Amino acid sequence: MLYELVFPWGHSDRTVVADSYFASVPAAVRLFVNGLRFIGVLKTSTREYPMPYLSNVELPAGKGDRRGLYTVDQASGCRMLAFVWADRDRRYFITTCSNIQEGAMIDRHRWRQVDQAPNADASRVNVTIRQPRAAEIYYSACAGIDRHNRCRQAGLMIEKKVRVHTFDRRVNTTIFGMACVDAQKLFLGIRKPLSIPERDFYSRLAEQLIDNQYDNRNLRARSKRSTDAELLLQELDSNSSHNSIPSNQQLLGVTPTKRHKANHPKHLLQGRCKSCDALATTVCRECQQELGTLAREQVWICNKPGKVCMGKHIAAHHPDMVALPGSAKRAIHYNRVI
């Protein structure tokens, strides 16, 4: 499974850093055969690993001390190094690309009882620990792995909430949890100014995954796309109670008013629509021609998406401005201003 995840980077001589879920001796050999290096930490997957020897070998120097064993796989020629390193506890590694020479020192700030006087306060001291080069490479890359695992185990907690009893379902559940955490990290990466708590993000993601209509989409033939206003008007005009003329039969449209505000010459004058009483800057073209362009009275008709005001106005005042079925006259485009 590990090789399938890193298959696109095969034969690139890159180093794969894996935690105890993926690390094992067969995984290291398989990646070496396919041109990839490997560093991993082991806990329970100890098949072909010298765990009995490394778990009992003495580390007299305490923290920072290490012991290792080196071997060469006869079938593939893979050189592997298995070693134990003492930090707070023993940690076991396997690598095909590094060694146990001295790496960078680890600096940690810890509370220590330096003053041995009774009831003395603890002091903040700097503790340095030696680490091998292979462990330095591993921990430089595993910080992202640890954060990812912490989000999956402590934040999502899908393995605790969904109890499974077979290994294949456990693997699928874990992979699904990884995908959910990846989605959360990707969302936060592309929406930097926006911050959503993990719990809220996972709740919304679950709602979208459960209540979706992806399988209910019907295919239809490609046709000329109508505007949202035309589609809504066609639905509304199908109901005779609205007493409106369908947009595809209207021979008359609205036009912007020629009048401007007295205190703002660059702003058009506004008025209340004759049908819906909403603010509008457009008037009926035919009515305004009869009244005059700059007449004080304006026949306000709004041209907002989803409104049937013009259809009602034509039905009430301009019944001859309707295109009959089979007529050669073409109706105007509803969103086009004349």
The single residue listed with the structure tokens 């920072």 is 64
Q: Count the neighbouring beta carbons within 10 Å of the beta carbon of residue 84.
A: 22
Copy the structure tokens of residue 145: 């792995």
Note the pLDDT of residue 42. 93
Cβ(285)–Cβ(310) below 8 Å: no
180 pLDDT tier (thresholds 50, 70, 90): very high
Cα-based distances in Å from 8 to 3, 4, 104, 181: 9, 8, 32, 22
What's the average model confidence in pLDDT over 283-303? Answer: 82
Note the pLDDT of residue 262. 82
Q: Count the neighbouring beta carbons within 10 Å of the beta carbon of residue 81.
A: 20
Q: How far apart are CA 304 and CA 55, in angstroms?
A: 78
Higher pLDDT, 228 or 243: 243
Tell me the whole-structure pTM to 2 decimals.
0.51
Residues 55-88 pLDDT 10s: 999 999 999 999 999 999 989 999 999 999 999 8
Among 251, 256, 227, smallest CA distance to 311 is for 251
% of the chain exceeding 90 in pLDDT: 30
Residues 80-125 pLDDT 10s: 999 999 998 999 999 999 999 999 999 988 888 888 888 889 899 9
Q: Map out the domains of the chain as residue ranges.
A: 2-115+122-156, 165-199, 228-317
Interhelix angle 133-150/167-190, nearest 10 degrees: 90
Copy the structure tokens of residue 91: 């940690």
